[in-house]
């Protein structure tokens, strides 16, 4: 009998893993899905004092980005959220106050997501994704997001722009070294002046490397044709949807 009880925690974990909705972890997805040349440029933690200048640069480059914003900053800069929506960017939920969601009780977790959600919808945004602060989540966080109608989404390329403060180091960290072609979900932060300053050049370089700029929703939905330079898909290759965690 004793060994049955010993197995219970494992069985519960296994069941929770099966029951919970999937997480879009692009580290795994984009590594396995080499055929896609889609590049989704994402900005976390804003909007902030530099975001308007970033929107100017994105308009100039005709790139639609995906913003994972904090509720407390949305409250301070509602005009910037309206502008993002009006200019065709995606605006998504990154919590209200940037906590480690795993350390909160259920009421606090729901408050973080739902308060941000109501602010955003009041401003015309229609969030579809939740990106947990620090990329830190567990099955409860995934379920909380789902209850708000949101999928948990991470990234595949971390620019580490909080660490790299020049265009050259930023590019060095995110651009693929070979001609393989850049693709995936790129993580930046629009709260850093140096990131905004580097973006025009970074976008040009990514485009030269074969990037076709899409939003996260477009990437997930697989919209748009692929460039001729990508190799044909191998027979029997797994769909990236089959690689979803949980
Ligand atoms: Ni963040």
Give all domains of the chain, ordered by start, each with its CATH number: 40-224+238-243 (3.20.20.370)
Q: What is the pLDDT of residue 163?
A: 80
Q: What are phi and psi of 39, to 5 degrees?
A: -125, 120
Q: What is the pLDDT of residue 170?
A: 72
89 is catalytic: no
Contacts of 235 (CB under 8 A, 6+ apart): none
Angular region, 96: left φ>0, alpha ψ -120 to 50, beta rest: alpha
Q: What is the pLDDT of residue 26?
A: 59
* 159-181 pLDDT, tens digit each: 888 887 777 777 777 776 655 66
Residue numbers in the chain where pLDDT is lower than 70: 1-22, 24-37, 176-181, 223-246
The residue among 149, 153, 92 whose CA lies nearest residue 125 is 92
Q: What is the pLDDT of residue 168?
A: 73
Angular region, 30: left φ>0, alpha ψ -120 to 50, beta rest: alpha
Residue tagged active-site, from 25, 44, 45, 144: 44
Alpha-carbon 18 to chain mean position: 23
Distance (angstroms) between ligand 1 centre and the Cα of 24 equals 16
Residue tagged active-site, from 161, 189, 190, 192: 189
Please tell me the pTM assigned to this model. Answer: 0.79
189 is catalytic: yes
CA distances in angstroms from 185 to 1, 45, 144, 157, 219, listed in the order given: 49, 16, 23, 6, 8
């Amino acid at each position: 009998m004793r060994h049955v009880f010993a197995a219970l925690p494992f069985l519960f974990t296994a069941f929770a893993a099966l029951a919970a909705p999937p997480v879009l972890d692009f580290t795994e997805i984009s590594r396995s899905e080499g055929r896609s040349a889609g590049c989704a440029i994402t900005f976390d933690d804003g909007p902030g004092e530099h975001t308007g200048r970033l929107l100017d640069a994105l308009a100039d480059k005709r790139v639609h980005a995906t913003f994972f914003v904090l509720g407390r900053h949305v409250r301070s800069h509602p005009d910037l959220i309206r502008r993002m929506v009006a200019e065709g960017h995606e605006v998504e939920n990154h919590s209200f106050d940037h906590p480690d969601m795993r350390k909160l009780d259920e009421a606090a977790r729901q408050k973080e997501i739902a308060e941000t959600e109501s602010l955003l919808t009041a401003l015309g945004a229609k969030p579809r994704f939740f990106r947990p602060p620090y990329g830190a989540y567990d099955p409860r966080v995934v379920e909380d997001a789902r209850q708000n109608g949101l999928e948990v989404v991470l990234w595949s390329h971390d620019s580490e722009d909080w660490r790299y403060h020049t265009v050259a180091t930023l590019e060095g960290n995110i651009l693929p070294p070979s001609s393989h072609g850049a693709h995936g979900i790129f993580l930046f932060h629009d709260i850093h002046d140096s990131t905004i300053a580097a973006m025009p050049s970074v976008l040009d370089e990514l485009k030269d490397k074969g990037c076709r700029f899409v939003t996260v929703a477009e990437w997930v939905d697989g919209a748009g044709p692929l460039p001729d330079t990508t190799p044909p898909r191998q027979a029997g290759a797994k769909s990236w949807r089959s690689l979803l965690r949980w």
